[in-house]
């Protein structure tokens, strides 16, 4: 168990509605990441954080925002969901000691 | 532009034989490489890594080879087992950087 959870695990929402996905880690890691996984694209970085209130954009950040008010929580928000944001979303933290990322179980989001 | 590429979307291998998964990268500054394994409905899990100062790293049945001049790495699984059937992602990073760059994944099927 890598000590990282995501909620909800599944969500269906309508186009235009706001959606927030939560990532929670229990090991006090500074670096956290949000990815989306789509067929033919692998894992693409949406946003990442290198500390409380310190975040930066990844390669597919349009339409997404993040917040990190506590070390253990990293929130991903879709301000107005679109069908192109239907995907599986993974959160991860980076262990700076080993330079490895550990992933949560994923959230399957469907935007209808 | 994809900095890490896995050109084979799928691979089938007989149980007991060798599986070879390939990965190419374009950024010569990458100095740390990882392989992740992903089962359906689960998050990716770390498998093996290699730093750019090495050309081979071995862990049980898994060996990663790095050819820096060709910007190519490969994962060898010997002998392959049915439980190895999964999607494998390669990833690259800078040790001093914040981001990991993932390939599109190769789906390995090991046939009993």
B63-89: pLDDT as tens digits: 999 999 999 999 999 999 999 999 999
**Chain B (29-68) residues lying within 8 Å, Cβ to Cβ, of chain A:** 32, 34, 36, 41-46, 49
Does the pLDDT of residue B93 top 80, yes or no? yes
CB pairs under 8 A between A and B: 53
B16-57 pLDDT, tens digit per residue, is 999 999 999 999 999 999 999 999 989 999 999 999 999 999
User: Cβ contact (<8 Å) for A106 and B41?
Assistant: yes
- Quick one: what percent of chain B has pLDDT higher than 70? 99
A74-102 pLDDT, tens digit per residue, is 999 999 999 999 999 999 999 888 888 99
Nearest CA-CA partner of A73 in A100, A53, A43: A53
Average pLDDT, chain B: 95
Separation of alpha carbons B111 and B88, rounded Å = 16
User: Cβ contact (<8 Å) for B42 and A105?
Assistant: yes
B25 forms bridges with which residues in the sheet? Answer: B4
The CA dihedral of A67, A62, B46, B107, to the nearest 10 degrees, is 150
User: Cβ contact (<8 Å) for B95 and A99?
Assistant: yes
The CA dihedral of A65, A108, A30, A41, to the nearest 10 degrees, is -80
Q: Quick one: residue A28, left, alpha or beta (phi over 0 = left, psi -120 to 50 = alpha)?
A: left
What is the per-residue pLDDT for A90?
97
SS3 A15: coil
A9-63 pLDDT, tens digit per residue, is 999 999 999 999 999 999 899 999 999 999 888 899 999 999 999 999 998 999 9
The closest CB to that of B99, out of A41, A45, A102, belongs to A45
């Amino acid at each position: 168990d890598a000590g990282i959870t995501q909620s909800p695990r599944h969500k269906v929402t309508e186009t235009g509605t706001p959606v927030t996905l939560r990532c929670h880690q229990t090991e006090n890691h500074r670096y956290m990441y949000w990815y989306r996984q789509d067929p033919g694209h692998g894992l693409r970085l949406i946003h990442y954080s290198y500390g409380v209130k310190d975040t930066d954009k990844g390669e597919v950040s349009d339409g997404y925002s993040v917040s990190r008010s506590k070390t253990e929580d990293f929130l991903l928000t879709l301000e107005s969901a679109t069908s192109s944001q239907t995907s599986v979303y993974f959160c991860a933290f980076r262990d700076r000691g080993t330079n490895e990322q550990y992933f949560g179980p994923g959230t399957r989001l469907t935007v209808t | 532009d994809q900095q890490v590429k896995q050109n084979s979307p799928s691979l089938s291998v007989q149980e007991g034989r060798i599986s070879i998964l390939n990965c190419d990268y374009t950024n010569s500054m990458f100095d740390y490489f990882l392989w992740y394994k992903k089962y359906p409905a689960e998050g990716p899990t770390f498998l093996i890594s290699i730093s750019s100062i090495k050309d081979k790293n071995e862990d049980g049945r898994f060996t990663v080879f790095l050819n820096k001049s060709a910007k190519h790495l490969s994962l060898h699984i010997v002998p392959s087992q049915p439980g190895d059937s999964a999607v494998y992602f390669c990833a690259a990073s800078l040790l001093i950087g914040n981001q990991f760059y993932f390939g599109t994944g190769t789906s390995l099927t090991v046939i009993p």
